[in-house]
């Protein structure tokens, strides 16, 4: 007959495997899911130990099962947290490599091809960006968007001519290093989040006379890139 400690360990490991499968199938944010499950497990065990609900002790089958269960749960939780950070760093590195490759390929285009494209000077941009938004990349992308007609200068702020989700996508790429990525199972690109730093939604709402850009980004990241995202991606080439 299978011992109780072994059965407890198998149940816990099966539970963590279910978390992995669900995260993969539904394309959830693995970093948030793994961190959430890991921390919840560890904190829950500490609370149950503090309240006396769990009473680990050697010598009895139940006590041994508790010890094995706690050890297995904490081990799986630490593994999930480590995997969350490892996957996150790999995605960041992969996203940067893709961007660098695209940039190199763009630079290798012969000059006579570049000269065929008509370049129009951008209109005078006298909009003052707040310190949090004023970066070299931001000004470069905003100027390109103005050239393409995606942004219209209206006195001291910008007016966005495309839909709000595309604006959130563009600003996420500028300020949070978001990127689009195609998986080997899907031909369509997915909106992948970049750095952890907070999205400057308040400043961007004011700059573009919009509302809830932060929410627009939050509800769409880790999902299929919005329709028309290729227009925004071209601005970063």
- Residue carrying structure tokens 């990349």: 137
Are the CB atoms for 142 and 151 separated by under 8 Å? yes
Looking at the structure, tell me whether residues 96 and 134 fall in a common domain. Answer: no
Residue 235 has a pLDDT of: 92
Residue 133 has a pLDDT of: 92
pLDDT digits over 40-71, tens only? 889 988 888 888 877 787 778 787 888 888 88
d(CA 17, CA 156): 53
Structure-token pair, residue 120: 């129009």
Looking at the structure, tell me whether residues 219 and 155 fall in a common domain. Answer: yes
Looking at the structure, tell me whether residues 211 and 126 fall in a common domain. Answer: yes
- Three-state SS at 186: coil
Q: Give the number of domains in the chain.
A: 2
Residue 121 has a pLDDT of: 46
Structure-token pair, residue 43: 């904190």
Specify if 113 maps to a domain.
no
Structure-token pair, residue 90: 């790999």
Greatest alpha-carbon span in the chain: 83
pLDDT digits over 75-97, tens only? 888 988 888 777 767 766 665 56
Straight-line distance from the first to the last Cα atom of the chain, in angstroms, rounded to the nearest whole number: 64
Residue 23 has a pLDDT of: 66
Residue 104 has a pLDDT of: 56
Residue 174 has a pLDDT of: 92
Looking at the structure, tell me whether residues 132 and 223 fall in a common domain. Answer: yes
pLDDT digits over 139-198, tens only? 999 999 999 999 998 878 899 999 999 999 999 999 988 888 876 666 778 888 886 567
d(CA 232, CA 141): 9
Are the CB atoms for 15 and 65 separated by under 8 Å? no
Looking at the structure, tell me whether residues 231 and 209 fall in a common domain. Answer: yes
Looking at the structure, tell me whether residues 92 and 134 fall in a common domain. Answer: no
Residue 107 has a pLDDT of: 53
Looking at the structure, tell me whether residues 95 and 139 fall in a common domain. Answer: no
Percent of the chain with pLDDT over 90: 23
Range of the domain at 39: 4-106
Are the CB atoms for 200 and 172 separated by under 8 Å? no
d(CA 83, CA 35): 9
Structure-token pair, residue 31: 């970093």
Specify if 111 maps to a domain.
no
Looking at the structure, tell me whether residues 224 and 124 fall in a common domain. Answer: yes
- Output the pTM of the full model: 0.50
pLDDT digits over 190-222, tens only? 888 886 567 899 999 999 998 899 999 888 888
Residue 112 has a pLDDT of: 47
């Amino acid at each position: 007959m299978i011992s109780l400690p072994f059965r407890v360990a198998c149940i816990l490991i099966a539970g963590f495997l279910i978390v992995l499968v669900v995260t993969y199938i539904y394309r959830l944010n693995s970093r948030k899911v793994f961190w959430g499950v890991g921390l919840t497990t560890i904190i829950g065990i500490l609370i149950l130990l503090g309240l006396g609900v769990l009473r680990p002790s050697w010598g009895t089958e139940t006590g041994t099962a508790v010890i094995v269960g706690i050890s297995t749960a904490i081990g799986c939780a630490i593994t999930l947290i480590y995997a969350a950070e490892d996957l996150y760093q790999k995605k960041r590195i992969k996203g940067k490599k893709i961007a660098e490759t695209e940039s190199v390929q763009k630079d290798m285009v012969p000059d006579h091809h570049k000269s065929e494209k008509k370049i129009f000077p951008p209109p005078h941009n006298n909009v003052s960006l707040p310190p949090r938004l004023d970066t070299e990349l931001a000004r470069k992308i905003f100027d390109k968007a103005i050239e393409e007609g995606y942004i219209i200068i209206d006195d001291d702020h910008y007016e966005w001519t495309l839909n709000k989700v595309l604006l959130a996508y563009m600003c996420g790429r500028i300020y949070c290093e978001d990127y689009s990525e195609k998986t080997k199972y899907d031909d369509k690109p997915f909106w992948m989040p970049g750095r952890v730093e907070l999205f400057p939604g308040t400043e961007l709402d004011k700059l573009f006379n919009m509302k809830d850009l932060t929410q627009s980004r939050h509800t769409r990241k880790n999902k299929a890139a919005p329709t028309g995202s290729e227009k925004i991606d071209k601005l970063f080439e």
